[in-house]
Amino acid sequence: MNETSRQVPEPRTRAAYRRQLAVIISLCLVLLTATSTVILTRGINYQLADVSKTYQLIQQASKTLLLVTNMETSQRGYLLTLERSYLDLYYAASLSIDESMSRLASMARGNPPQEERVREIEALTTQIQGGVRQTVQLAVEGQLGKALEDIRSDKGKMDQLRETIRNFMDEEDRRLIQRNDKIDRTRDWLTIASLAALTSAVMLAYSLLSRVQRYVRLLSEGQSALLSENVLLEERVQERTAELENARAVAERERRRVEVLLQDSNHRIGNSLATVSSLLSLQLREATNENARRVLIAARDRVQTISTAHRRLRLGDDLETVRADEFLQAVVEDITTALVPGGRIKFETAFAPLNLNARDVTTIGIILGELVTNAVKHAFPDNREGIVSISFGRGEDGVLELAVADDGVGQGKGKGKRGKRQGLGMLVIEQLCLQFGDAPHYSNNGDAGTRAVIRFPSLEVRG
CATH number at residue 135: 1.20.120.1730
Give yes or no: residues 207 and 325 share one domain: no
Largest Cα separation within the chain, whole Å, is: 142
Same domain, 211 and 324: no
Please check whether residues 184 and 57 belong to one and the same domain: yes
Q: Which domain does 400 fall in, by range?
A: 319-456
Instruction: Report if residue 93 sits inside a domain.
Output: yes
Q: Pinpoint the alpha helices (H) of 82-154.
A: 85-107, 112-140, 144-153
Q: Are residues 45 and 182 in the same domain?
A: yes
Q: Give me the long-range contacts of 266-273 (CB less than 8 A, separation at least 24).
A: 266/310, 266/311, 266/313, 267/310, 267/311, 269/307, 269/310, 270/307, 270/308, 270/309, 270/310, 270/311, 270/312, 271/307, 271/311, 273/303, 273/304, 273/306, 273/307, 273/310
Q: Residue 247 domain-assigned?
A: no
Q: How many structural domains comprise the chain?
A: 2
- pLDDT tens for 120-166 read 787 877 777 777 777 777 777 777 777 677 666 666 677 777 788 88
Question: What pTM was estimated for this model as a whole?
Answer: 0.40
Residue 237 lies in a domain: no
371, 376, 381, 386 alpha-carbon torsion, rounded to 10°: 110
Tell me if 71 sits within 8 A of 97, measured CB to CB.
Answer: yes
The highest-confidence range among 238-252, 336-350, 379-393, by mean pLDDT, is 379-393
Residues 6+ apart with CB under 8 A from 372: 332, 335, 339, 347, 388, 390, 404
Please report the pLDDT score of residue 266 as a whole number. Answer: 56
| Strand partners for 323 | 355
209 with 335, same domain: the answer is no
Percent of the chain scoring above 90 in pLDDT: 8
- Write down the pLDDT at residue 403: 95
What CATH number is attached to the domain comprising 391?
Answer: 3.30.565.10
What would the pLDDT profile of 217-251 be if each residue is shown by its tens digit? 888 888 888 888 888 898 889 888 888 888 888 77
Residues 211 and 330 placed together within one structural domain of the fold: no
Q: Which of 181, 216, 251 is the last residue of a domain?
A: 216
Q: Which of 187, 216, 245 is the last residue of a domain?
A: 216
Residue 313 has pLDDT above 60, yes or no: no
Residue where one domain finishes, among candidates 184, 216, 248: 216
**Helix, strand or coil, per DSSP, at residue 346:** strand
Q: What angle do CA 350, 354, 359 make, to 5 degrees?
A: 105
pLDDT of residue 414: 47
Residue 110 CA to residue 127 CA, distance in Å, equals 26
CB within 8 Å of 138: residues ≥ 6 apart = 144, 146, 147, 150
In this structure, the answer to whether residues 203 and 64 fall within a common structural domain is yes
The answer as to whether 274 is a domain residue is no
Are 44 and 185 found together in one domain?
A: yes
Is residue 193, in this structure, part of any structural domain at all?
Answer: yes
How long is the chain?
A: 463
Q: Residue 233 domain-assigned?
A: no
In a domain, 252, yes or no: no
33 is a domain residue: yes
pLDDT in tens, 154-198: 666 777 777 888 887 788 778 778 877 777 777 777 778 777 777
- The reported pLDDT for the residue numbered 75 is 72
